[in-house]
Amino acid sequence: MGNLNVIAIVMVIAVTVFTVGLAIFVRRFTRTTADFYLAGRKVGTIANASAISGDYLSAASFLGVAAAVYASGLDGVWFAAGFAGGFIVVVLFIASALRRFGEYTVADFAYGRFGSDRIRLVTVVMVLLTSLFYMAPQMYGAGTTWTVLVGAGIFGLSPYNTGVLIVSLIIMFYVMVGGMKGTTLNQIFQFWWLWTAMFLVVVFAFTVGKFSYPDALAEVTAENHRDVRMVSVADLTADDGALLATAEGAMSSEAFAAVEAAVEAGDPEATIGILVPATNKLHELRDMFFNEPGHRYNGLDQFSMVLALVLGTAGLPHILNRYYTNPSGAAARRSTFWVLIFIGTFYILAPIAGLAGKLIIDDAWRAGTAPTNAAYVDGLLARSDAIMPTLAQILGGEWLMGAVAAGAFAAMFSTTGGLLIASASAVGHDVYEKYVNANASEARKVFVGKASVLFFALVALGIGIGIPAVGLDKAYPALIAMMVTWAFSLGAGAFVPMLLTGIWWRQTTERGAIAGMIVGGGGSLFFIFMNVLKQLGHLGDSGVLPFLGSLTFPTLFTFPAAVLTIVLVSKIDGQLPKNVDEIWMRIHGTASERHEKELGLDKVGGMFSGGQK
C-alpha cells in the first residue's frame, strides 16, 4: 500500500459532497420526463457550452491525452487535435438542425425523420453500445486514479476495484436524484474545476519544475524512444533470452539489475516491467523518436484515428442529447462556438503536461522523490494513465495532487453522468414510453428512467472491473485514450452517416439509413474486436484476420462504407416518407417559415419540397 494523500482525499471528498448536494438540491425541480432527460429545455448558451464541455472532457481528455503524449509522443498529440476539431463538424452540419427538429434523443430524430419503429430500435441498440464503450474508459480511469490517490482498497477489494465501485455508486446516485438538471449543473462546475486543474499543472511545470517546452522536446528526442512492457519471467527467458537481451540494451544498469534479480528468483509467472526500443510503424528501418509520428500507428491508422475523433464527436449520444436542452437552434450554434473555445484551450494544455511529465517524473524517480503509489520502470510510469496525478504530486505536493485528483473524478462524474442519462433515455423514453406503456404517468416515466440509470451504472461497474481481468491494461500503453477512440469510431460509423444524410440529403430512405447504421456500426465493432484479439495475442501474424486486427481504428473504412450503403440502398428503395416536405421544413426552415407552413402560406415550397408547389 502506498502513502495516503490526506489533503488530496479531502479535496476529492469535498468535490464529491458538493456534486451529490447539488443533485439533491435540484431534485424538487425534476418531476417530468422533460426535466429528467432535458433539464426542461431551458439551459442558456454559456451554461450549456460549459456543460457540453464537461460532458465531453472525460477521463480520456483529462488523464488520457497527456498519457498518450507521454507514451507515444506525436502520435499522442493526434488525440488532442482530433478531440478539439470534432465540434467543427457538429457546429457546421448538425447542432442547429438537430435542435430545430426537437424531440428528446437521437432515436427520436431517426423515428421522426424516417417514420419507422425499426429505425428507432436499431438506433437505441447503437446508442447503448456506444455509451457502454464510452463508459469503459471512465471506469478504468476511476480505478487508476484511486490507486494513485489512495493505494488501498475496502471490503477486501483491490485499490483499482475500490475506485471503480465508489465512482459507480456516486454517479448512479446523483444522476438518479438530479436527472439532467442536476447533471447539467454538476457538469458546469466539474468542467471548470478540471480545466483549472490542468491549467495549474502546466503553470507549476513552467515555474516550480523549470520546464521549457523547446528544451524538453529536444532532450526527449535526443535518443530512441522506449516502450514499457509488462512481461512474465517465462516470456523474458524464452528464445534463449532474446527479449532479456533487448531490455538490457534499453535500460540503465541499476534498473536491469532488478530485472535480473526477478528472473533469478525463478517464478515463471511473475510479471516484470522492462523497457525496449520503440519501433517505427511508418518507417520500419528508421529509429523511433518522440517528435515523429509512427510510434503507435501506421499510415492507415494515423489518418483513420483523426477521422474517427473528428467525426465521432458528432456521433456521441450523450453530446447530441445536450443540444436538445438549448431553447433554440440558434442557441445550439452559439453554445458550440463557446465549446470550441473552452475545449480548444484545454487541448493546448494537455500535450504540454504530457511532455513535461517525461522529464519531471524521470528526474523525481532518479532522485528518489517520486510518489510511491505509482509503479515505475527505469524512470517511466508503468501505466502512463497515471501521469496527471503523479506529475501534480511532484510539482505541487498534496494540494495540487488533490486538485488534479478531484478534477479526474469530476471528469468521470461529468461524462459518465451524461452517458447514464443517454442510456436511460434510450431505454426509458425510446422503448418504455413508446412501446411498453405509452400511457404511463410522468411519475412512472421518471421512475423507469431512474431504474435504467441504476441498471447501466451496474453494467459500467462490471465493465470497469473486467478491463484488467482480460488484460487490456497490459495490451495498450495509453488504454483510456484508446478505449474512447473506439467509442468515437462506433459513433462515427453508426450515427454520423445517418445524421448527415438524414439532415442534408432529402432522398435518404428508412431502409437506406438502417442499412448504413448496420454497416457502419457493425463494421466498427468487428474491427475493434479483431484489434483487441490481435493485441491480446489470439491471432497469428499472417493472414486476413491478423491484417484486419492490425487496423487499430476502423473509421477510414466504416464511415465511407456506411455513406455508400445509405446512398445505394436509398436509390434502390426510393420509398421516401409521405410527409418528407414537412420534415424538410422542420429541419431547415426558419421559425417564421415554419409558422407560415403551419398557417398554409408555404412561401418556401420550392425550396423545401423539391421544387413542387
Average pLDDT, integer, range 274-288: 89
pLDDT band for position 421 (cuts 50, 70, 90): confident
Gap between the Cα atoms of 155 and 419, Å rounded: 28
Average pLDDT, integer, range 486-503: 92
- Cβ contacts of 541 within 8 Å, gap of 6 or more: none
pLDDT at 142: 84
Most confident of 101-110, 229-238, 292-301, 500-509: 500-509
Three-state DSSP class for 296? coil
Phi then psi dihedrals of residue 492, to 5 deg: -65, -35
pLDDT at 606: 42
Which one, of 211, 262, 268, lies nearest residue 238 by Cα?
268
When the pLDDT of each residue in the chain is averaged and rounded to a whole number, the result is 83
pLDDT at 265: 85
pLDDT at 592: 54
pLDDT band for position 320 (cuts 50, 70, 90): confident
Cell numbers 489518418 correspond to: 303
Which one, of 160, 228, 198, lies nearest residue 403 by Cα?
198
pLDDT at 610: 41
pLDDT at 61: 81
The yes-or-no verdict on residue 598 having pLDDT over 60 is: no
Cα dihedral angle (333, 337, 343, 344), rounded to 10 degrees?
140
Q: How does pLDDT run across 155-184, given as a tens digit for each residue? A: 888 889 998 998 888 888 877 776 666 677
Average pLDDT, integer, range 209-235: 90
Task: Give the type of residue at 285.
Answer: L
Cell numbers 470497469 correspond to: 464
Q: Which of 64-78, 544-558, 593-607 comes out lowest in average pLDDT?
A: 593-607
pLDDT band for position 600 (cuts 50, 70, 90): low
pLDDT band for position 40 (cuts 50, 70, 90): very low
Average pLDDT, integer, range 593-604: 49
Query: Distances in Å between the alpha carbon of 336 and those of 307, 308, 565?
Result: 19, 19, 30
pLDDT at 559: 95
pLDDT band for position 596 (cuts 50, 70, 90): low
The yes-or-no verdict on residue 483 having pLDDT over 90 is: no
Of the two residues 61 and 591, the one the predictor is more confident about is 61
Gap between the Cα atoms of 331 and 201, Å rounded: 33
Tell whether the torsion through CA atoms of 604, 314, 333 and 34 is positive or negative: positive
Query: Distances in Å between the alpha carbon of 216 and those of 71, 351, 365?
Result: 15, 12, 17
The yes-or-no verdict on residue 241 having pLDDT over 70 is: yes
The yes-or-no verdict on residue 604 having pLDDT over 80 is: no
Cell numbers 434523443 correspond to: 105
Gap between the Cα atoms of 12 and 484, Å rounded: 24
Gap between the Cα atoms of 59 and 442, Å rounded: 34
The yes-or-no verdict on residue 568 having pLDDT over 90 is: yes
The yes-or-no verdict on residue 200 having pLDDT over 70 is: yes
Q: Which grid cell is 72?
A: 507515444
Q: Percentage of the chain with pLDDT > 90? A: 26
Average pLDDT, integer, range 474-479: 75
Most confident of 44-58, 229-243, 341-355, 547-561: 341-355
pLDDT band for position 104 (cuts 50, 70, 90): low
Of the two residues 174 and 107, the one the predictor is more confident about is 107
pLDDT at 572: 95
What is the pTM assigned to this prediction?
Answer: 0.80
Which one, of 131, 129, 153, 133, lies nearest residue 143 by Cα?
153
Which one, of 422, 311, 260, 347, lies nearest residue 53 by Cα?
347
Gap between the Cα atoms of 197 and 190, Å rounded: 10
Q: Which of 15-29, 240-254, 263-277, 489-503 comes out lowest in average pLDDT?
A: 15-29
Under a CB-based contact definition with an 8 Å cutoff, are residues 129 and 137 in contact?
A: no
pLDDT at 32: 54
Gap between the Cα atoms of 134 and 139, Å rounded: 9
Q: Which grid cell is 556?
A: 477510414
Q: Which grid cell is 60?
A: 480520456
Q: Which grid cell is 25?
A: 438540491
Q: What distance lies between CA 327 and its chain's CA centroid?
A: 27
pLDDT at 434: 81
Cα dihedral angle (294, 298, 300, 303), rounded to 10 degrees?
-20
HSE-CB at 347 with a 13 A cutoff on CA atoms is 25
Task: Give the type of residue at 320.
Answer: L
pLDDT band for position 603 (cuts 50, 70, 90): very low
Angle at 460 between CA 456 and CA 461, to 5 degrees: 115
DSSP state of 274: E
Query: Distances in Å between the alpha carbon of 604 and those of 130, 284, 514, 582, 597?
Result: 38, 59, 30, 11, 8
pLDDT at 352: 95
Query: Distances in Å between the alpha carbon of 573 and those of 498, 510, 517, 561?
Result: 16, 9, 16, 18
The yes-or-no verdict on residue 591 having pLDDT over 70 is: no
Tell me how long the chain is.
Answer: 613
Q: How does pLDDT run across 347-380, given as a tens digit for each residue? A: 999 999 999 999 999 999 999 898 887 889 999 9
pLDDT band for position 504 (cuts 50, 70, 90): very high
pLDDT at 607: 38
Q: Percentage of the chain with pLDDT > 70? A: 88
- Cβ contacts of 162 within 8 Å, gap of 6 or more: 143, 146, 150, 152, 153, 154, 155
* DSSP string for 314-377: GG-HHHHHHHTTSSSHHHHHHHHHHHHHHHHHHHHHHHHHHHHHHHHHHHHHHHT-S-TTS-EE
DSSP state of 279: P
Of the two residues 330 and 545, the one the predictor is more confident about is 545
Which one, of 99, 537, 18, 154, lies nearest residue 329 by Cα?
99
Q: How does pLDDT run across 510-534, given as a tens digit for each residue? A: 999 999 999 999 999 999 999 888 8
| Cβ neighbours around 541 below 10 Å, total | 8
Which one, of 257, 192, 203, 208, lies nearest residue 57 by Cα?
192
Of the two residues 298 and 203, the one the predictor is more confident about is 203
pLDDT at 496: 93
Gap between the Cα atoms of 286 and 317, Å rounded: 42
Gap between the Cα atoms of 585 and 607, Å rounded: 9
